[in-house]
Amino acid sequence: MSAARSCRPPRALAGLFVWRLRNTGVRQIPCRFVHLYHVASNRLITFQYFNFLKRMYVTQCNKDLSQRAKPKSHSIASPFHELQQLDQEKKVVHKISPVSPVHQSWSEMSSSNEFGEIKSAAETEDSVITVGAESKEDRQWKEMKLRLDDLPGILARLSKIKLTALVVSTASAGFAMAPVPFELTCFLLASLGTGLASCAANSINQFFEVPFDSNMNRTKNRPLVRGQISPLLAVCFAASCGIPGIALLTLGVNPLTGALGAFNIFLYTCCYTPLKRMSIANTWVGAVVGAIPPIMGWTAATGSLDAGALLLGGILYSWQFPHFNALSWGLREDYSRGGYCMMSVTHPGLCRRVALRHCLALIGLSTVAPVLNITTWTFPVISLPINLYISYLGFRFYRDADRSSSRKLFFCSLWHLPMLLLVMFTCKKSVLEKEDKGDLPVGSHEMAMEIRLP
Amino acid sequence: PPAHSRSDWIGPPDKLSNLRPVIFYVPPEETALERRLREARQEAQASNQRFWARHNRAFRQEKEEFIYSRLKAKGLEMRDESGQKATLNAEEMAEFYKDFLSKNLKKHLQYNRDWYKHNFRITFLMGQVALVRALRWLRRRKKNAEQ
């Protein structure tokens, strides 16, 4: 792999990605990217890290506790294959420098392909069913013995730790938006509990989906697929995360949050995962799964299910659709072969309509926020540009229905949500106004902050 | 896998089914329960392999046929002047994908049911085996402590 690194194209491509992402305005991590780019210019690491970050956002698509096949499919490994197929220029790809011939399709590609997958994809000109990473190691027979020092890494991958981190961050957003004084212990407990619940749900999801994961490029390197861990251990891990997590939420925060957490695990593992292969309704269920964490954050802070919680959940619910539908547009082949019922395959028109509909809904929801006293009226005004932009891209996707518009929409969704939440937070209605009603945390709490308006 | 090894070995993904084959180790002192577990795993492996190999092969074949028929309808050949394989664009392929998915939905539903059954049974047996082994180990320790 390092040999490929020394080619110039990879670097140019990495640069292209930086440029792309910069252009799409990934505000959170621009410095990280720039830093990476400079530091790791000739190393595979840059690219891998790129993929890592992209993948992080890719998997974020499902914000829900699980990675839907889509999100899994999110990894753009398959679209890559499709691109290979569809591009008229098939270039002979060398094993060593797979990236250069891929240059053409690369510039169209969205992202998060693992390097190994790209290589393999590039190699097999017409094989849709790529056998796997070309790394020698992968071709060998491995002993199915669990090594303790591998265990943390394996468990991290099993629990989809990056996706979990994103889920926890949406829950924290929900917590932060709640109109109560900030309590650190509550916040930490809620985040930890949500994180554990998410780990459990993701592990069970992987446990259920082993043969399907092995057939889809994005997911074929998962621990259970590779036999690095036994199914029994996966289930035990899930139980040992889920039970303490829910207990922590119920006892340490409040029963409502615990109930929501348990419900979300159930929804994800027992409804969404099987539904993926049965009907397109899975997308809506998955969107609910993604919407629940911020609601959990809110109820953790306030202890009750207010309109504000539902609004936040609604925003995340609506966001899932442009995000996922745009992503799944490029993964139709893998879905079709894997047997996943997704709108992009079976009802493409509906897929695009729904994406557009929910982009517009985001505008509506942002306008409702001040009505419910969650934010000031500056919020709909400030968020209007980004909401209009994503709606515009949604409209383009609706009208053009091609790869480039779907990709544009997907990338926009990646930065749109963090920005929206950030703007929402800065426009949050001050808690100071509610001081007479509220009780300032004293004594046992380590720290109490009052959120002020900027 | 080496002859002296006392664990299962897992190999690279199969070309047709993309599943990784496992060679199971049969310990000389295998209990009846362990044998049931091993046989369940072997059966699941075989059944999965059969399904996916057939399914993937069908996919590839039908895809080729579809491309061929469409190219023919357009009056093009399978390979253009430069010898490259001609392909259809995403929208045309989408029709095929939709078709293929709906044709195979029933097959998938049946397979899902079978897979979930296998998976649960195997995991449950694994749990039983682990429990038995743990109890045996505890008993042995107690005996050693008494001696």
- Ranking A304-308, A347-351, A420-424, B90-94 by mean pLDDT, the lowest is B90-94
For A142, which of B9, B18, B88 is closest by C-beta distance? B9
Check CB contact under 8 Å for A232 and B84: no
Of A313, A183, A201, A310, nearest to A246 by C-alpha is A201
pLDDT classification of B83: cutoffs 50, 70, 90: low
Out of A43-47, A166-170, A171-175, A226-230, least confident range? A43-47
Class of domain A147-303: mainly alpha
Whole-structure pTM value: 0.72
Q: What is the mean pLDDT of residues A217-235?
A: 89
Q: What is the mean pLDDT of residues A117-130?
A: 39
Closest CA to A332 of A322, A320, A346, A321: A346
Residue of B nearest to A221 (CA): B13
Instruction: Judge whether A366 and A380 are in contact, CB under 8 Å.
Output: yes
Query: CA nearest A343: which of B71, B94, B128?
Result: B94
The answer, yes or no, to whether residue B74 has pLDDT greater than 90, is no
**Mean pLDDT value across chain A:** 74
More confident of the two residues B40 and A90: B40
Assess contact for A69 and A340: CB atoms under 8 A.
yes
C-alpha distance from A274 to closest chain B C-alpha (Å): 8
Whether B47 is in a domain gets the answer yes
Domain that holds residue B30: 9-146
With a cut of 80, say whether residue A29 has pLDDT above it.
no
Core vs surface per residue A206-222: b (16+ CB within 10 A) or e: bbbbbbbbbbbbbbbbb
Q: How far is A370 from chain B (nearest CA, A)?
A: 42
Residue B85: strand, helix, or coil? strand
**Least confident interval from A93-107, A195-209, A415-429, B48-62:** A93-107
AA identity, residue A247: A
pLDDT score recorded for residue A374: 84
Q: Chain-centre distance of CA A300, in angstroms? A: 23
Rounded to a whole number, what is the largest CA-CA distance in chain B?
87
Q: Residue A432 — very low, low, confident or very high, per pLDDT cuts 50/70/90?
A: low
Residues in A touching B104 (Cβ below 8 Å)? 339
Q: Report pLDDT digits (tens) over A278-290.
A: 999 999 999 999 9
Q: How many domains does chain B have?
A: 1
Higher pLDDT, A99 or A285: A285
Nearest to B108 among A87, A129, A339 (CB): A339
Which of A129, A144, A332 is facing B10, going by the closest CB pair? A144
pLDDT (0 to 100) of residue A147: 82
A297 phi and psi, to 5 degrees?
Answer: -60, -45
> Which of A85, A127, A214 lies closest to B20 in CB terms?
A214
Residue B127 pLDDT grade (very low, low, confident, very high; cuts 50, 70, 90):
very high
State percent of chain B over pLDDT 70. Answer: 92
CB contact at 8 A, A249 and A295: no
Cα B15 to Cα A38, A246, A334, distances in angstroms: 40, 42, 16
The answer to whether the CB atoms of A143 and B90 lie below 8 A apart is no
Summarize the confidence of residues B41-46 as an average pLDDT: 93
For this complex, say whether ipTM is above 0.85.
Answer: yes
Mean pLDDT of chain B: 87
Residue A273 pLDDT level (bands cut at 50, 70, 90): very high
pLDDT at residue number B4:
77
Return the HEC string of chain A.
CHHHHCCHHHHHHHHHHHHHHHHCCCCCCHHHHHHHHHHCCCCHHHHHHHHHHHHHHHHHCCCCCCCCHHHHHHCCHHHHHHHHHHCCCCCCCCCCCCCCCCHHHHHHCCCCCCHHHHHHHHHCCCCCCCCCCCCHHHHCCEECCCCCCCHHHHHHHHCCHHHHHHHHHHHHHHHHHCCCCEEHHHHHHHHHHHHHHHHHHHHHHHHHCHHHHHHCHHHCCCCCCCCCCCHHHHHHHHHHHHHHHHHHHHHHHCHHHHHHHHHHHHHHHHHHHHHCCCCCCHHHHHHHHHHHHHHHHHHHHHCCCCHHHHHHHHHHHHHHHHHHHHHHHCCHHHHHHHCCCCHHHHCHHHHHHHHHHHHHHHHHHHHHHHHCCCECCHHHHHHHHHHHHHHHHHHHHHHHCCHHHHHHHHHHHHHHHHHHHHHHHHCECCCHHHCCCCCCCCCCCCCEECCCCC
- A-facing residues of B in 9-38 (CB < 8 A) are 9-13, 15-20, 22-23
* H/E stretch holding B22: strand B22-23
Q: Do A348 and B94 touch (CB under 8 A)?
A: yes
Residue in A59, A56, A65 with CA at minimum distance from that of residue A271: A65
Kindly state the average pLDDT of the residues A363-390. Answer: 90
Is residue A20's pLDDT more than 50? no
Q: How far apart are the first and last CA of chain A?
A: 49
Cα–Cα distance, A173 to B50 (Å, whole number)? 47
Q: Which residues of A touch B127 (CB under 8 A)?
A: 232
State the DSSP code for B5. Answer: -
φ/ψ of B28, rounded to 5, equals: -60, -30
Q: How many Å lie between the alpha carbon of B52 and the closest alpha carbon of chain A?
A: 9
A-interface mutation test, from B56, B101, B118, B133, most A Cβ less than 10 A away: B101
CA distances from B133 to A19, B126, B127 (A): 57, 10, 10
Between A59 and B46, the more confident residue is B46
Q: Which residues does A146 contact at the CB level (< 8 Å), separation at least 6?
A: A228, A229, A230, A233
Least confident of A24-28, A347-351, B125-129: A24-28
Q: Which residues of B touch A214 (CB under 8 A)?
A: 13, 18-20
Could you tell me the CA-to-CA distances from A434 to A1, A83, A181, A241, A440 in Å, in that order? 59, 56, 9, 37, 11
Q: Is residue B69 part of a domain?
A: yes
| pLDDT of the residue at A148 | 85
Query: Best interface-test mutation with B: which of A131, A336, A404, A406 has the largest number of B CBs within 10 A?
Result: A336
Q: Do B10 and A332 touch (CB under 8 A)?
A: no
Is-contact B37 B19, C-beta < 8 A? no
A81 vs A294 pLDDT, higher one: A294
